[in-house]
Amino acid sequence: MWRGDNASGRFEDFRVPAQENQTILDVVSWIQQHRDPTLSYRYACRVGMCGSCAMMVNGVPRWTCRTHVKVALKHNRISIGPLRNLPVIKDLATDMDPFFDKWVAAEGMHHPSRTRDDSIEQIDPEDGARLEANKGIECINCSVCYAACDTVAGNDDYLGPAALQRAWTLYNDAKDAGKLNILEAVSGTGGCHNCHSQGSCSHYCPNDLNPMAAIAGLKRATALSFLKGSK
């Protein structure tokens, strides 16, 4: 298990008793409760709804509350570390600020098209754009896709799959008035065209979302906007 920070951290070994239906989070909690109370890590719901317990398990980003030991065990050992591509605060706890800063940089906030004084806009739930937007609304910002992304690892400016998927969701939302702002944000340095389409984000998403498809949608939309603007 990883102890320390980015600069001076190291892996330490712990022997943990096996239990029935034991999860990786159970292992981490047992170590903190019975072996080293200084161990730092995050968790909240323990049932796969908040995503705050995400860590690297044998080099793969996972929700530790839903990853069973029997699945991850290799040669009677498990490697547990902090999420990749994020600064380590201490041990298994990472600084999420860069992740959310990129969410903001991608215009991942709602741009209202009406005020509270206006009547509520009626949206057809079967409209194509609405259905496209629905594909990404289950993202809970766990940063598993961000940790899985090799482009993020090699490019500090890259906005990352979660931020870009959020941008695509809002771009397709009829109630969002910031479409041009979104396209401008995701077409610049570190934007959607930096994606190499390797697909790790979609492969490892615990909610079975497809950020790679959302990024492809942004690539098409930004290219089309550029061509229309050049006429």
**pLDDT (tens digit, 9 = 90+) per residue, 128-180?**
999 999 999 999 999 999 999 999 999 999 999 999 999 999 999 999 999 99
Say whether pLDDT at 230 is over 60. no
Residue at which a domain ends, from 42, 76, 94: 94
pLDDT band at residue 229 under the 50/70/90 scheme: confident
Distance CA 220, CA 209 (A): 19
- Residue 228, pLDDT score: 84
pLDDT digits (tens, 9 = 90+) for 182-226: 999 999 889 999 999 999 999 999 999 999 999 999 999 999 998
Verify that 138 and 221 share a domain, yes or no.
yes
Percent of the chain with pLDDT over 90: 90
Pick from 128, 139, 140: nearest CA to 172: 128
Pick from 41, 44, 163: nearest CA to 98: 163
pLDDT digits (tens, 9 = 90+) for 112-130: 999 999 998 899 999 999 9
CATH code: domain of residue 11: 3.10.20.30
CATH code: domain of residue 163: 1.10.1060.10
Pick from 180, 175, 176: nearest CA to 228: 180
Verify that 122 and 57 share a domain, yes or no.
no
Pick from 30, 18, 147: nearest CA to 81: 147
pLDDT digits (tens, 9 = 90+) for 28-48: 999 999 999 999 999 999 988
Q: Which two tokens stand for residue 134?
A: 């629905």
Verify that 129 and 140 share a domain, yes or no.
yes
Non-local (6+) Cβ contacts of 22 within 8 A are 68, 69, 70
Q: Do residues 141 and 100 make contact, with C-beta atoms less than 8 angstroms apart?
A: yes
Say whether pLDDT at 231 is over 50. no
Verify that 81 and 103 share a domain, yes or no.
no
Distance CA 102, CA 157 (A): 9
**Beta strands, E only, the chain:** 2-3, 10-11, 54-57, 60-63, 80-81, 88-90, 93-94
Beta 2-3 vs 93-94: how paired, if at all?
unpaired
Verify that 213 and 128 share a domain, yes or no.
yes
Q: Which helix (H) or strand (E) holds 151?
A: helix 150-154
pLDDT digits (tens, 9 = 90+) for 47-89: 889 999 999 999 999 999 999 999 999 999 999 999 999 999 9
Verify that 217 and 104 share a domain, yes or no.
yes
Verify that 101 and 87 share a domain, yes or no.
no
The secondary structure of residue 194, as a DSSP letter, is G
Residue at which a domain ends, from 30, 60, 94: 94
Verify that 197 and 90 share a domain, yes or no.
no
- Helix 161-171, helix 97-105: angle, nearest 10: 30
Distances (CA, A) of 101 to 69, 106, 111, 122, 163: 33, 9, 17, 32, 9
- Residue 227, pLDDT score: 87
Query: What 3-state class would DSSP assign to 23?
Result: strand
Average pLDDT over residues 1-19: 93
Verify that 109 and 158 share a domain, yes or no.
yes
Percent of the chain with pLDDT over 70: 99
Residue at which a domain ends, from 94, 125, 142: 94
Domain count of the fold of the chain: 2
Domain containing residue 222 = 97-229
Average pLDDT over residues 93-108: 97
Verify that 89 and 137 share a domain, yes or no.
no
Verify that 86 and 103 share a domain, yes or no.
no
- Residue 51, pLDDT score: 94
**Residue 23, beta-bridge partner list:** 68
Distance CA 184, CA 188 (A): 7
Verify that 139 and 158 share a domain, yes or no.
yes
- Residue 220, pLDDT score: 96
Pick from 81, 53, 77: nearest CA to 67: 53
